[in-house]
Amino acid sequence: MRELKIFSGRANPELSLEICQHLHLKPSAISLGKFPDGENFCKLEDDVRGRDVFLVQSTCPPCNDSLMELLIMLDSCKRASANRITAVIPYFGYARQDRKDEGRVPITAKLVANIITRAGADRVLAMDLHAPQIQGFFDVPVDHIYAAPVLNESFLRRGLSADRIVVVSPDEGSIKRAVGHAKRLNGAIAIVDKRRTSATEVRQSTIIGGPIEGKVAVMFDDMISTAGSICGAARLVKQAGAEEIHIACTHGVLCGPAIERLRDAPIDSIAITNSIPLPPEKHLPNMHVLSVAPLLAEAIKRIHHDQSISAMFREGGAT
């Protein structure tokens, strides 16, 4: 048996600690900090020679600091002769820069994947990548897991009648996700026709499917960044006569005017996971934080024992 070691970066230490608690392990000791000139510093305080090492670090804001810290942790483990190094990245930053949508722009998601691989990652464990094809950007195995079981369970516990639920896709790109959630919740499905006017502004125009009137509308997305899309969709759904509106997402980036938009939108509840830490100033009264630590802990255990990851979702009935 290869001894399991879990190290945490400073991006989300609470999540890392919770993962370790589910695995009945103590977090491995590591010293992280900055030199006076701002350079990152890392020292592993535990022996990792020949061990199976997992580094938990979301590349969330401050994105560049979080990413650089992950790279330094990877290099430290590689130079300390770890047997296998898995980068556990609950939130993978730069994921939206996954293609050339105009001339003379980079594909930064591919660049970041290359850097992580070159720094020493033998495999990657990520959750709800913004674009699934990012798995192919890495030249090492990628285990891509989904927070859908956690989000679905939060709604199933509410005991909502299936004939009242309509799962609304906030845009065309989220249709597949919405269909999966609708199957699990036994609800109907509707799609918001979204037209993007700029990199930061969108305009919603109509709803396809339904019906919406008198229903409980539930909207799922992989992330909420500035909240422009989800709040615009919520207003459109409210105008269509929805009785209640609930939204859920995996990654609560919540930057710029997101909090103000969510506060002013006709939304009854917001469910987000703890893939990104939620500071108190971003916590709204109708916001609920769901933990993905059990899901990540199970995935880490399965990787350590060379077991199937996809079986987690088949056994749990997730989509």
Query: Per-residue pLDDT tens for 69-85?
Result: 999 999 999 999 999 99
- Residue 209 sits in the same domain as residue 81: no
Shared domain check, 124 and 47: yes
Q: For the chain, what percent of residues have pLDDT higher than 70?
A: 94
- Please report the pLDDT score of residue 1 as a whole number: 41
Which among 5, 110, 194, 215 is annotated as catalytic? 194
Read off the pLDDT of residues 175-202 as tens digits, 9 standing for 90 and up. Answer: 999 999 999 999 999 999 866 666 556 5
154 with 22, same domain?
no
Note the Cα 199 to chain centre separation in Å.
21
Asked if 199 and 218 sit in the same domain, the reply is: yes
Q: Which residue has the higher pLDDT, 183 or 206?
A: 183
pLDDT digits (tens, 9 = 90+) for 259-294: 999 999 999 999 999 999 999 999 999 999 999 999
Kindly state whether residues 177 and 203 are assigned to the same domain: yes
| Statement: residue 316 has pLDDT above 60 | no
Q: Parallel, antiparallel, or unpaired: how do β-strands 30-34 and 40-44 relate?
A: antiparallel
Confidence of residue 240 (pLDDT cuts 50, 70, 90): very high
Same domain, 154 and 114: no
| pTM for the predicted model, two decimal places | 0.93
Q: Are residues 228 and 245 in the same domain?
A: yes
DSSP 82: B
- pLDDT over 90 percentage in the chain: 87
Task: Find out whether 23 and 297 touch, Cβ atoms under 8 Å.
Answer: yes
Assess whether 257 and 164 both reside in one domain: yes
Q: What is the pLDDT of residue 201?
A: 61
Whether 48 and 131 map to the same domain: the answer is yes
Determine whether 34 is an active site residue: no
Domain that holds residue 161: 148-290
Separation CA 100–CA 79 (nearest Å): 35
284 and 155 both lie in a single domain: yes
Query: How many independent structural domains does the chain possess?
Result: 2
How far is Cα 151 from Cα 289, in angstroms, rounded to an integer? 10
Q: Please check whether residues 176 and 134 belong to one and the same domain.
A: no
Q: For the chain, what is the largest distance between any 2 Cα atoms, rounded to a whole number of angstroms?
A: 61
- Model confidence at 119: pLDDT above 80: yes
Same domain, 53 and 170: no
Question: Which amino acid is located at 132 in the chain?
Answer: P
Identify the DSSP state of 241: T
CATH of the domain at 30: 3.40.50.2020
